[in-house]
Chain A
C-alpha cells in the first residue's frame, strides 16, 4: 500500500491531496498542467519539503511531518524519470546507467545491468553520449538509470510529454513491459489520458491542487469529474476482459466482458490474454430488444443503473453488463422514445471498427507476475 497525504503552499498555489493505492501497481496522477502533479511527485521524492503530511510505502515511512521523521532524498531510494530525461552530459550512456547502480551497492540488486539493457533495448547505445541520442532513446536511458538505482518506488513525471507521437509509441511498450515484468510500484504523472489508459492500475484525479477522484481505472473512468479534464468526446468506461477466441483469418478476436462478448479487430491476440477495453460513450448504441440482422456483431445484455444529464440534448446512461459498467451517450429524445429508465433491460451494441486504438494489454494481476 502506498499512502500519501500532502499539504504544500507556494506562491499563488496550494496543494492538498491524500490518496492510498495498492502496491505494486501503476498509480496514474492525472490532471491538467499546473494541477499539482509534479509538485506531488517532487514531495514524494524529497526534492521539495511539504508543509505538512506523510508518505508511506508498505511498512516504510518516507516522511511524516507529525512524527518529525524524514529520509533524505538521496537515501529514499525512489527512482525518478523526469520529463526532460536529465541525463548527465559528461557521462556516456553506460556511465549514466551505472551512476545510480554504483550508489546502490550493498542493497540487494533486484535488477541487474544486463537485464535493464535487455529490457529497454539499450545495447547499441551504451558508448554514446547523451547529446547523440534521440528523445525516445534519452527517456529509455533515463528509465534504465532510475531502475538500476534499485528503487523501491519509481516516479515517472510525464516521461513522454516531450516526445512526438512516433517516439511516444516507441517508448510506451517498454513502460508496459516494465509494469508487467517487475513488481515495482510506480507513480505515473500524465495529462494524456491515453497513456493513463495503457498503463495505470489506479488513478488519482487532480484539479487545481485538490484531489477530485481516485480509484481503479475502471471506477475512475465512470466518474463525472473526469469529463471536465478529458473533454466530452473522451468520456467512456474502461473495462478489463479476457480473450476467448481468435479468428486469425478474419483478424477478429472475441473478448469476454461481463456476460457479453465483444468482437474487436486484433491480429496478435492470444486466447486467455487479459485485455483492457475503452468504450467511448459516444460510440455505444443501446437497443431494447436483442438486435438482429444489423452489421454490429457485438451485443451485450445489461440493465440500466442510472441515467445522468450530459450535454444539453443528450443523456449519459450507465448500463451494468453483468459486473462491469459501461456508459452510453444517447439523445434525450431516444431516452424518451424507448422509455429508458433505471432497471430497463437493454442491449449494448459496439462496432468492432470503433474499438481500434481502444484495446490494450491489461496489467497482470499482482499474483500472476
Chain B
C-alpha cells in the first residue's frame, strides 16, 4: 500500500473516510427522526420545514459553507458557545469538515429514508398494536427493521457523497493538510500545483474506486434484505 500511494495520498484518503464516517454516524439518527416527522407528523409549517431540510441540495455549497462559518465560527453564536462550554472548535478542524459534509449530504439521506418509511405497510404497525406493542416498541420491532434497506441505502449514498464534498468544506474549514484536506481538496490542490497532473490523476482514480465500491455494497445489501423479506 505504501508503495502504491504516497503518504500525502494516504493521509487524504484516510481523512476522507474519517470525515465521511463521522458525518454519517452523527447525522443518521437525526435523518431518521426528520424523515419520520416529514412522513408521519402533521403540523403547521411542515412544507417550510421540508423545504429547509432540502435546501443544501439547491444552494451553492460555498453558500452553505459560509452560513456555517457565520454560525459556527469561533465568534459565531453557536461556535462561541461550543468553544466556551466544551472547548470544541469546528473551524479549520476535522470535526468541522464532518459537520459541513453532514449538512450537505443530509437531504440525500432523508430522501432515501423517507421513501423507505412511506413504503412501510401501516397495516403491519396496526397489527403489532393489537398484539400489545406500544409506540416505541412498534417503531423498534416493526417500522425500523422494515425501513432498514432505505436507511442503509441512504447512509451509503450519503457516505459516498461525503467523500466528495468540496465547496462547503473548503469554505468552512479551509484546506489544511492532515486536518481538513480530504480527497477532493487534495485533488484540487494537485491540479493547482505545477506538475501535479500525475498526482491528480491518481487521486481521481482513488475517488472513482471508492465511489463504485460504495454503490456496489449498497446494492448487494439491498438485494440481501429484499431476498429475506421475500420481495
Contacts and interface: CB of A to CB of B under 8 A. Distances in A.
Interface of A: 45-47, 72-80, 82, 84, 86, 88-90, 99-100, 103-104, 129-132, 145-146, 149
B129 A74 contact: yes
Contacts of A78: 130
B128 interface: yes
B131 A100 contact: yes
Contacts of A146: 130-131
B130 A103 contact: no
B228 A79 contact: no
A188 to B, nearest CB: 16
A47 B130 contact: yes
B230 A74 contact: no
Contacts of A100: 131-132
A73 B128 contact: no
A159 B124 CA distance: 16
B123 interface: yes
B128 A89 contact: no
Given A89-B230, A129-B230, A77 B145 contact: no
A40 to B, nearest CB: 15
Given A73-B130, A100-B131, A86 B123 contact: yes
B132 A103 contact: yes
Contact of A80 (B124, B127, B133, B228): B127
Contacts of B7: none
A133 to B, nearest CB: 10
Contacts of A75: 132
List the 9 shortest-distance A-B pairs measured between CB atoms, nearest first: A131-B230, A103-B132, A100-B131, A80-B130, A86-B127, A89-B229, A149-B131, A90-B145, A73-B129
B127 A90 contact: no
B178 interface: no
Nearest to B123: A86
Nearest to B127: A86
Nearest to B230: A131
A71 to B, nearest CB: 12
Nearest to A78: B130
B169 interface: no
Contact of B132 (A45, A74, A84, A89): A74
A86 B129 contact: no
A74 B124 contact: no
Interface string B124-154: 1011111111100100011001100000000
A90 B131 CA distance: 16
**B contact face: mostly helix, strand, loop, or mixed:** helix
Contacts of A89: 124, 146, 229-231
Contacts of B129: 46-47, 73-74
Contacts of A80: 127, 130
Interface in B180-200: none
Given A129-B230, A131-B229, A88 B124 contact: yes
A104 B137 CA distance: 14
Given A80-B127, A82-B127, A84-B123, A90 B228 contact: yes
A74 B134 contact: yes
A76 B146 CA distance: 25
Contacts of A88: 124, 127-128, 142
Nearest to B132: A103
Contacts of A149: 130-132
Given A82-B123, A84-B123, A90 B229 contact: yes
B131 A103 contact: yes
Contacts of B123: 82, 84, 86
A88 B127 CA distance: 9
B162 to A, nearest CB: 29
A77 B132 CA distance: 7
Nearest to A77: B132
A73 B126 CA distance: 9
B142 to A, nearest CB: 6
Interface string B3-33: 0000000000000000000000000000000
B207 to A, nearest CB: 36
12 contacts: A47-B129, A74-B129, A74-B133, A78-B130, A80-B127, A86-B121, A88-B127, A88-B128, A89-B146, A100-B132, A104-B132, A130-B230
Given A89-B229, A89-B230, A99 B130 contact: no
A272 B121 CA distance: 49
By CB atoms of chain A within 10 A, which of B123, B131, B133, B142 has the most? B131
Nearest to A133: B230
A82 B129 CA distance: 13
